[in-house]
Amino acid sequence: MKTITLAFTGASGLPYGLRTLECLLAAGCTVHVLYTQAAQIVAKQELGQTWPGRADDLARQFRSQYAVGEDRLKVWGQQEWFAPMASGSNPGDGMVVVPCTMGALAAIANGASDNLLERAADVMIKERKTLVVVPREAPFSVIHLENMLRLARLGVVILPPNPGFYHHPKDIGDLVDFVVARILDQLGVPHQLMQRWGD
């Protein structure tokens, strides 16, 4: 099955990220999780979850929560340059940044590579692998739009978390699943989150 890098930043919308993690694991994927310090704050604010600062501790927490082993779920710190996704020799099959702050998006668009998240995204671009960014901001400024256009021209998928309503959502979970379904489609990961248009 696929190996996917999943990055959480400090933008609002962490339920999209955790639902993506859950679905990737359910589909049999191996997932490498990256997270920023700001994502820890968002986890507490939006979900009431306390994420430890050490990657190993968060890995244990997630493995227990999702009932998977170390072979299926790894969590990496932002300065762990020997992580597989830091090199084009072992990039995995795809990467998604969900939610993605405008700061992270700008750093990726300009090739900053100052931490593992940015470097992993840079590797995806240079190796022509699937990179999906889920920018959570409103409204977008010209700077934001120009950075997104730069990434789109490089083949990056820009996927704002804009749920549709034609599937008659019953609750917030249905709205989250609409966006996560689009993310999984871009990664080529099978799912049954919702009925497809025309089916």
CATH number of 117's domain:
3.40.50.1950
- Residue 196 labeled ligand binder: no
List, for residues 127-156, the tens digit of each pLDDT value.
Answer: 999 999 999 999 999 999 999 999 999 999
Rounded mean pLDDT, 120-131: 98
For residue 8, what pLDDT is reported?
A: 98
Please give the tally of structural domains in the chain. 1
- Give a yes or no: residue 96 inside a domain: yes
| pLDDT above 90 for 1 | no
166 has binding-site annotation: yes
For residues 78-99, give the mean pLDDT. 97
Report the predicted TM-score, pTM, of the whole model to 2 decimal places.
0.96
> Would residue 85 count as lying in a domain?
yes
| Domain-located, residue 195 | no
119 is known to lie in a ligand binding site: no
Q: Per the domain annotation, does 102 fall within a domain?
A: yes
Residue 124 has pLDDT above 90, yes or no: yes
Neighbouring C-beta atoms of residue 134, cutoff 10 Å: 26
DSSP string, 12-60: S-HHHHHHHHHHHHHTT-EEEEEE-HHHHHHHHHHH-----SSHHHHHH
Residues 179-183: what's their mean pLDDT? Answer: 98
199 pLDDT more than 90 = no
Residue 121 three-state SS? helix
Per the domain annotation, does 192 fall within a domain? no
Q: Is the pLDDT of residue 173 over 90?
A: yes
* pLDDT, tens only, 26-79: 999 999 999 999 999 999 999 999 999 999 999 999 999 999 999 999 999 999
Q: Exposed/middle/buried for 92, CB within 10 Å: 0-12, 13-18, 19+?
A: buried
Q: What is the model's pLDDT at position 150?
A: 98
Calculate the CA 138 to chain-centre distance. Answer: 19
d(CA 68, CA 88): 27
For residue 164, is it within any domain?
Answer: yes
Is 36 annotated to bind a ligand? Reply is yes
The mean per-residue pLDDT over the stretch 73-102 comes to 97
Q: Whole domain around residue 118: which residue ranges?
A: 3-187
User: Which is it for strands 73-76 and 30-35: parallel, antiparallel or unpaired?
Assistant: parallel
What is the predicted pLDDT for the residue at 58?
97
- Provide the 10 A C-beta neighbour count for residue 75: 24
